[in-house]
Amino acid sequence: MNQPLQQPVLVAGGGIGGLAAALACARAGLPVQLFERSAAFEEVGAGIQLGPNVTRLLQGWGLQTGLAEVSAYPENLVIRSADTGAELGRLRLGAQARARYGAPYATVHRADLQALLLQAVKGEAGVALGLGRAITGFEQGADRVILHHANGHQTPGALLVGADGLWSRVRQQLLGDGTPRLTGQQAYRALLPHADLPAALRCQDVVVWLGAGLHVVQYPVRSGDWLNVAALVEDRAQHQNPGDRSGWDHAALGADLQQLLKGAAPPLQALVQAMGGWRLWHLQVRHTVGRASQMAQGRVALLGDAAHPMLPYLAQGAGMAIEDAQALGQALATAGATPAALAQYAQARWQRNARVQKRSLRNAWVFHASGPTRWGRDLAMRALGERLLDVPWLYGGP
């Protein structure tokens, strides 16, 4: 007798989290249907850092060769004072990260990471990808979930994974906890080929410049051929004039940033001046995950920024989405496409996500400190160096 056809796992959103989820579910042997509202799989033009906790999972999915073709593998993370340019601390990455954590510390263009995941997903027979398919909501029944699309269509599935980002429709319906909260912090970002930069500004390390109320981070992407720079600043005017803060991609004036960095160390000023085409993100967050039921209920789970948006001060938002996907795949492989699998997934993930969210928040305070706190931080960084900068509980996980 023929077995009844297995209902698919439905994935809402085709960002890094959604694609990683689709891959992990397919590798667990389940059919998958992914729906992305955009007409193409797109990522903003910016870099992303991937700790060894993340590259280890990508290796486990057999993506190490593809990753090596597009990544840079910086030798060091160097912390400098934004005011004087003096080195405050250094963490060796390169061979040390590989030896210590069994996987490299990589820096990569977001579009390259997304393309890598997309290629892997397309290599899976059981995955159907729907572009231009905005979802509007869902219904949960005892034995299935039905996804509603903006065009009026409905798709039944065994489970639904909401990987639809910070403004998640799935979250809105599942948790009903309102919109994300503005932080008053903005991220300027720019990318430039190294060849277009003066020789003195070319650099293959991750460098973090710490100033009062701001910090700047730079690192190579695209096999080291391009430099990615992000400047994170506290913007007190933002709450008075909120304007349109939705979406990830706003025009920015490099001159505004140069003004903010007037008086900074000359090499930092030169870097910001040399970069062009600045874009802006308005950073928004939600409360830290407080229990497993905030990540899954019945046949519906949340993943990535839909579940646990975080400030980028630990560079782990996409990393946690990829860890989520791995855990989801594991749970489905053992418990099948069932509510029990989603409960197992949520239980496995919520505390680690909450810890990373909290640490990212704390880092915002540490990175942007002024006065005696800043003085104490710099002293501790000089004295403790790698012991302070390494994060074994994070890089050694999940």
Ligand X SMILES: Cc1cc2nc3c(=O)[nH]c(=O)nc-3n(C[C@H](O)[C@H](O)[C@H](O)COP(=O)(O)OP(=O)(O)OC[C@H]3O[C@@H](n4cnc5c(N)ncnc54)[C@H](O)[C@@H]3O)c2cc1C
Q: Which residues form the catalytic set?
A: 219
Which position has the token pair 């600045």?
Answer: 278
Residues 320-339 that bind ligand X (CB under 6 A): 321
Taking the CA atoms of residue 76, residue 81, residue 87 and residue 93 in that order, the dihedral angle to the nearest 10 degrees is -10
Angstrom distances, CA of residue 250 to CA of 245, 283, 312: 9, 12, 17
How far is 154 from 176, CA to CA, in rounded Å?
22
Q: Does 112 bind ligand X (CB under 6 A)?
A: no
- Residue 263's region, left for phi above 0, alpha for psi from -120 to 50, else beta, is left
Nearer to ligand X, 104 or 312 (CB): 312
Residues 194-233 that bind ligand X (CB under 6 A): 230
Minimum CB–partner distance for residue 300 and ligand X (Å): 14
- Options 9-17, 74-82, 265-273, 339-347: segment touching ligand X (CB under 6 A): 9-17
Nearer to ligand X, 82 or 160 (CB): 160
Closest CA to 268 of 322, 332, 211, 221: 211
State the binding string over 226-265 for ligand X (x if CB under 6 A, else -): ----x-----------------------------------
User: Is there a contact between 162 and 171 (Cβ–Cβ < 8 Å)?
Assistant: yes
State the binding string over 299-318 for ligand X (x if CB under 6 A, else -): -----xxx-----x--xxxx
How far is 154 from 189, CA to CA, in rounded Å?
39
State the binding string over 268-287 for ligand X (x if CB under 6 A, else -): -------------x-x----
Nearer to ligand X, 1 or 39 (CB): 39
- Options 7-15, 96-104, 205-213, 384-392: segment touching ligand X (CB under 6 A): 7-15
Considering CB under 6 A, how many residues would be counted as binding ligand X? 34
- Other CB atoms within 10 A of residue 84 CB: 11
Would strands 206-211 and 300-302 be described as parallel, antiparallel, or unpaired?
unpaired
Minimum CB–partner distance for residue 338 and ligand X (Å): 23
Residues 148-167 that bind ligand X (CB under 6 A): 163-166
Nearer to ligand X, 37 or 377 (CB): 37
Nearer to ligand X, 38 or 351 (CB): 38
How far is 235 from 219, CA to CA, in rounded Å?
24
Q: Does 11 bind ligand X (CB under 6 A)?
A: no
State the binding string over 46-75 for ligand X (x if CB under 6 A, else -): --xx--------------------------
Would strands 159-162 and 9-12 be described as parallel, antiparallel, or unpaired?
parallel
Closest CA to 34 of 117, 119, 129: 129
Which position has the token pair 């700047």?
Answer: 216
Nearer to ligand X, 172 or 338 (CB): 172
Classify residue 62 by its DSSP letter.
T
For helices 52-60 and 94-101, what crossing angle results, to 10°? 70
CA 82, chain centre distance (Å): 25
Contact residues for ligand X (CB under 6 A)? 12-18, 35-38, 48-49, 134-135, 163-166, 169, 187, 230, 281, 283, 304-306, 312, 315-319, 321
